[in-house]
Structure 1
Amino acid sequence: MSETRESWAVVTGSTSGIGRETAVGLAEDGFAVVVCGRDHDRAEETVKRIEAAGGKAIAVLADLTDPAAVRALVAEVRERIGDGTVDVLVNNAGGGEFAPTEATTEERFDTTFTLNVKAPYILTGAFAPGMADRGRGAIVNVGSLSTTMAASGTSAFQAAKAALSMLTKSWTAEYGPRGVRVNSVDPGYVLTRVNEHIRDMFDRYLTDLPAGRGAQPEEVAEAIRFLISPKASYIQGATLTVDGGKNSVVTM
């Protein structure tokens, strides 16, 4: 009889917003969850919310703009889950400051690409081979509507998210034949704490949406949760856009 090991989901940026709702949802689906973020108190809030509902979670803190910290996160996860297996990876942490190209410093550019591209690359390189060896696993990259629609003053961020979108396809070719499903979710404007300070920028955007409003974090989390679930067993290399219809409608 084969040994049954605990199945873990690693969710980056899960101390708030989309990541937190994803972590909580995956715990409801039976996964033990590694909550990843930079803020200790918010990480513990996510862990306590999961535990209060009868789930299991641990918090592992890391600044994903630092490649050394990403590698340390991998080492700590492996140490703390013991005989468990990482069967799900959600590359949710992302973002970056918006600025015109000429005002984007090299440091800002590098930080944006490290957070949105290099960190997911390191994490996938660390956890996907184990999934492939076991013949099962799911990876979801959280991208952005910016991968298909451009806006002025966001070039570094949009280029990074476009790179992550291409990685979804590359990893599908690499790991898909060995049982690992890799997909993307591309949100539009989401009503999160992080986005609140730029809400005014999106008033016209929200007015023109067929949905007429921004998304709640849990609405995006449900899309991620679906792609991880057995219900999405034949979906690989796909991008599920969660944007209230923005990508489908031209404003006249």
Structure 2
Amino acid sequence: MEFEGRKALVTGGTAGIGREVALQLATGGAEVIVTGRNAERGAATVAAIEDAGGKARFFAADMTDLDSVRRLAEEAADVDILVNNAGIFDFSPTAEQTVASFDAMFQVNVRALYFLTAAIAPRMAERGEGSVVNISTMAATISLPGSSVYAATKAAVNSLTRTWAGEFGTSGVRVNSVSPGPTLTESAPLEMVDALGSTTLLSRHASTEEIAAAVVFLASPRATYITGATVPVDGGRAVA
């Protein structure tokens, strides 16, 4: 198994894409720390991994709280793989966007990701290897009315990916992003993802398994010469 002996941290790992990433990493042999705010969903994810023969544990963290992020970084100090998946979205027209929603999206999608990576990536660098995979979105590169703040947070993630690839690359740490298209998850209504899916070149939405497969590939030894990339996994929507 390609992740045998490796440790991974998946933020927002109790549902959706994050949960599937955690499952696939564990299937590949990684010992996975699953984090999120919901302990019940965390326990269910850990149980699913263990039932499949994998190793996992849950650590509760609130990504809006920097103290909680710091505790998470201490708990995950020696991980070999960091998947920054935790994120929130609120689609609203620009003139109707609230300050509270604006601040929350930047706190979770940018600030928490930034300081968690700032704590963990240098430790990877000291060991001479590691992989960070950030979860972005197609909205960061195409126009989706109503997504202004969410898209801006993910454009920041893409920029951080490039900068961190430069900062940590000579120390053996790779940093990449996956940019999903419309994906059916618990928080994404079928009608919405179907409508967006119809605009892709493949004329359908993605499954969480398809997005997770790309994340796991970038984290794996199969991708050792890929860094600084934002990989679109969007059914061709970015070029449609």
Q: Same fold (TM over 0.5)?
A: yes
8 Å contact kept, 1:60–1:77: no
State the shift of 1:204 in Å: 3.6
- The corresponding residue for 2:105 is 112
- The corresponding residue for 1:240 is 231
- Deviation sequence 1:161-213 (CA, Å, 0-9, x none): 000000000100111110000000000100000112xx434444322322221
- The corresponding residue for 2:14 is 15
The amino acid across from 1:61 in the alignment is A
Match of 1:87 among 80, 90, 102: 80
Match of 1:159 among 152, 159, 162: 152
Q: Distance in 1 between matches of 2:118 and 2:199?
A: 40
What are the ranges of 5 or more consecutive residues in structure 2 without an aligned counterpart?
none
- The corresponding residue for 1:127 is 120
Q: Distance in 1 between matches of 2:7 and 2:46?
A: 14
- The corresponding residue for 1:81 is none
Structure 1 residues 1-252: aligned runs within 5 Å = 7-78=6-77, 85-196=78-189, 199-249=190-240
State the shift of 1:60 in Å: 0.6
Identity value in percent: 47
- Deviation sequence 1:136-178 (CA, Å, 0-9, x none): 0000000000111022111110110000000000100111110
| Cα separation, partners in 2 of 1:203 and 1:29, compared to 1, 3 Å | closer
Number of residue pairs aligned between Structure 1 and Structure 2: 237
The amino acid across from 1:101 in the alignment is T
Q: Distance in 2 between matches of 1:211 and 1:150?
A: 19
Q: Distance in 1 between matches of 2:76 and 2:104?
A: 23
Where 1:86 maps in the other structure, the secondary structure is coil
The amino acid across from 2:143 in the alignment is A
State the shift of 1:53 in Å: 1.8
Q: Distance in 1 between matches of 2:194 and 2:174?
A: 36
Where 2:79 maps in the other structure, the secondary structure is strand
Q: Distance in 2 between matches of 1:228 and 1:28?
A: 14
8 Å contact kept, 2:196–2:205: no
Where 1:14 maps in the other structure, the secondary structure is coil
Higher Cα Rg, which structure:
1
| Cα separation, partners in 2 of 1:223 and 1:122, compared to 1, 3 Å | same
Where 2:214 maps in the other structure, the secondary structure is helix
- What is the TM-score of this pair, normalised by structure 1? 0.90
What are the ranges of 5 or more consecutive residues in structure 1 without an aligned counterpart?
79-84
The worse-fitting range, judged by mean Cα deviation, of 187-196 and 58-67 is 58-67
Across the aligned residues of Structure 1 and Structure 2, the Cα RMSD in angstroms comes to 1.5
